[in-house]
Amino acid sequence: MAVELPDGPIGVVGAGTMGAGIAQVAAVGGLDVKLFDVAEGAAVAARGRITSYLQRSVARGLLTDAQAGAAVSRIETAGSIEEFDNCFLVIEAVAERLDVKQGLFTKLADICSPDTVFATNTSSLPVTAIAAGVPQQERVVGMHFFNPVPLMRLVEVIAGMNSSEQALAIAREVGSRMDRQSIDASDGPGFLVNRVSRPFLLEAQQLLSEGLADAETIDRVVRLGGGFRMGPFELSDLVGVDVGYDIAKSFYALGHGEPRWRPSGIPAQMIAAGRLGRKSARGYYEYAENGSYRADDPGPQMVESASGAVDVIGETQLAHELRRLAEAAGYAVSAPAGVPREITIDARLVTAGRDIDLSRGPVAVLCAGNSLAAAARGRNIAGFHCLPPLGEARAVEITRGSGTTEETLTITRHFFHAIGKHVIEVGDGPGLVLGRIVCQLINEASFALQEGVGSAEDIDKGVQLGLNYPRGLMAWRDAIGSAQIVSTLDALQREIGGDRYRAASALRRAVLEGR
């Protein structure tokens, strides 16, 4: 429900990338803005960058000349924060240090009206801690924008322990005027979106340390198999390996040693070697002068000739999708007994010791409830992994065990090529690469949901609008099924040990209740 905003402008302190982006979307949304930075000339320079950005938007047909000109005219650069005395809201985008943010708000409290709302754009510091010592703590809230602000249409509104509903309502309405979708998050490590995304890189680093695949292969699986725009290691290089490592250590400390958030030792070694990502031209990738660092992803997989019969065992959404694609490719699916099978695709949660019928020919099992090693026990069986919705996936992972022959692996590869999927071979383990990362993402989201950090709707909206995920994590949970997610997590806990993979009670309860 919309609230009436007080008269006056909003203030933005900090004219770097984030502050300038916040000022820009506020002005485009019709709000008057005062922009200040302690660095001399920084606010004026930011206003110039905003002008150039809006002119490019005009050239692309996104704004008219009049709209761009009006937006720039709404941005006033301030010579000091004393000029913020008539602002009804001040958003800070200054250094990510508690003392800096507290000091700024304490000083603003002597300048602004007692009704002025103070919003912090922090991505990692507790809002309650920032508000401590500030007069009228109830007016301090979080407004966490995502980078680049003009493109990411999301803002998290975070309530500290003492934040008033009026202050939160003003923050939400300002976000709406900026044409950002607001989601509510409670005050805790990473709030909602950054928290549920923790496993994206952490689990990829764990896979790398275990040798299941190299960084480039893991990224390719995530892009082609999962539909993500960037893989975790590409993203780490873009953000900065050192920056990501500092965030990981902060999360671990704020979480009091939560095993799911334990940092990897890999970035510490890379930092010592000067491999900081794009900014140093070396990170997980080597960067050419033109910025290139990897080959382009392949186009659609050319469908190979398909004939004969296949069995697809299982009743999950994934199994049904595999049958549909196999039939479309020309296979006779689930043919009568006695008809030779090209391959049997076992898409059940195959548990260790389950009888797998090898009499009908080659078998490939879904590596979810177990690794291939646990399911095959040295027999001639291949492993695969993919996630629904399979129609949107461009690649499937396969793996081999100690008893897998080249012939069985070749037949498995041919089946997935025939249904139009690229095939990426990786090492063995429950969930292989994509399943492991996605199950941990869903698990973290489930922990956040049961702890009241945010709603299921806001989790899905947050990761899609704030992080460009291909789909919401709760929607993905429903497509995969809680049983498969818990089975994969339990298998990881059995094979790797520790509490890193303990399933959220909300997920386990869903399985127990048959949901």
Considering the domain architecture, whether residues 115 and 200 belong to the same structural domain is answered as no
Q: Please tell me the distance from the alpha carbon of residue 274 to that of residue 72, in angstroms, as a whole number.
A: 40
At 423, is the secondary structure helix, strand, or coil?
Answer: strand
DSSP H stretches of helix in 401-512 = 406-418, 434-450, 456-467, 473-480, 482-496, 505-512
Show which of 401, 425, 449 is a domain's final residue.
425
Examine residue 493 and state whether it is found in any structural domain, yes or no: no
How would you classify residue 259: left for phi > 0, otherwise alpha for psi between -120 and 50, otherwise beta? Answer: alpha
Domain count along the chain: 3
| 317-329 vs 473-480: helix crossing angle, rounded to 10 | 70
Considering the domain architecture, whether residues 112 and 79 belong to the same structural domain is answered as yes
Considering the domain architecture, whether residues 42 and 159 belong to the same structural domain is answered as yes
- Domain residues for the domain of 381 are 309-425
Examine residue 161 and state whether it is found in any structural domain, yes or no: yes
* pLDDT, tens digit, 9 for 90 and up, residues 260-296: 999 999 999 999 999 999 999 999 999 999 989 999 9
Instruction: Label each residue of 493-514 as H, E or C.
Output: HHHHCCCCCCCCHHHHHHHHCC
Examine residue 231 and state whether it is found in any structural domain, yes or no: yes
Q: Which amino acids are annotated catalytic?
A: 123, 144, 156, 194
Q: Please tell me the distance from the alpha carbon of residue 418 to that of residue 416, in angstroms, as a whole number.
A: 5
Examine residue 460 and state whether it is found in any structural domain, yes or no: no
Show which of 187, 220, 244 is a domain's final residue.
187
* CATH, residue 25: 3.40.50.720
Show which of 187, 205, 223 is a domain's final residue.
187
* CATH, residue 207: 1.10.1040.50
Per-residue model confidence (pLDDT) at position 354:
63
Residue 390: its H or E element: none
Place of tokens 């680093």: 205
Strand-pair partners of 313:
346
Q: Please tell me the distance from the alpha carbon of residue 229 to that of residue 87, in angstroms, as a whole number.
A: 39
Considering the domain architecture, whether residues 328 and 380 belong to the same structural domain is answered as yes
Distance of CA 349 to the CA centre of its chain: 26
The alpha carbon torsion through 400, 402, 404, 410 (nearest 10 deg) reads 40
Considering the domain architecture, whether residues 41 and 163 belong to the same structural domain is answered as yes
For residue 427, give the nearest of 266, 224, 209, 225 by alpha carbon: 209
Neighbours of 405 (CB within 10 A): 13
DSSP H stretches of helix in 215-316 = 215-226, 232-239, 241-254, 266-272
Distance of CA 357 to the CA centre of its chain: 39
Residues of the chain with pLDDT under 50: none
| Token code pair at residue 357 | 């019928």
Strands 33-36 and 75-77: parallel
Per-residue model confidence (pLDDT) at position 225:
97
* pLDDT, tens digit, 9 for 90 and up, residues 307-322: 889 999 998 899 999 9
Examine residue 225 and state whether it is found in any structural domain, yes or no: yes
Per-residue model confidence (pLDDT) at position 349:
83
pTM for the whole thing?
Answer: 0.91
Examine residue 508 and state whether it is found in any structural domain, yes or no: no
Q: Please tell me the distance from the alpha carbon of residue 379 to that of residue 369, in angstroms, as a whole number.
A: 17
Examine residue 444 and state whether it is found in any structural domain, yes or no: no
Q: Please tell me the distance from the alpha carbon of residue 10 to that of residue 23, in angstroms, as a whole number.
A: 9
Considering the domain architecture, whether residues 27 and 172 belong to the same structural domain is answered as yes
Considering the domain architecture, whether residues 177 and 77 belong to the same structural domain is answered as yes
Considering the domain architecture, whether residues 355 and 400 belong to the same structural domain is answered as yes
Angle 113-116-118 from CA coordinates, rounded to 5°: 135
Examine residue 17 and state whether it is found in any structural domain, yes or no: yes
| Token code pair at residue 349 | 């949660």
The verdict on whether omega for the bond into residue 430 sits within 30 degrees of 0, i.e. cis, is no
Strands 382-385 and 395-400: antiparallel
For residue 12, give the nearest of 104, 138, 99 by alpha carbon: 104
Considering the domain architecture, whether residues 205 and 143 belong to the same structural domain is answered as no
Burial (0-12, 13-18, 19+ Cβ within 10 Å), 284: buried
| 42-59 vs 65-73: helix crossing angle, rounded to 10 | 170
Considering the domain architecture, whether residues 54 and 157 belong to the same structural domain is answered as yes
Per-residue model confidence (pLDDT) at position 352:
55
Per-residue model confidence (pLDDT) at position 351:
63
Per-residue model confidence (pLDDT) at position 44:
97
Considering the domain architecture, whether residues 327 and 264 belong to the same structural domain is answered as no
Neighbours of 357 (CB within 10 A): 11
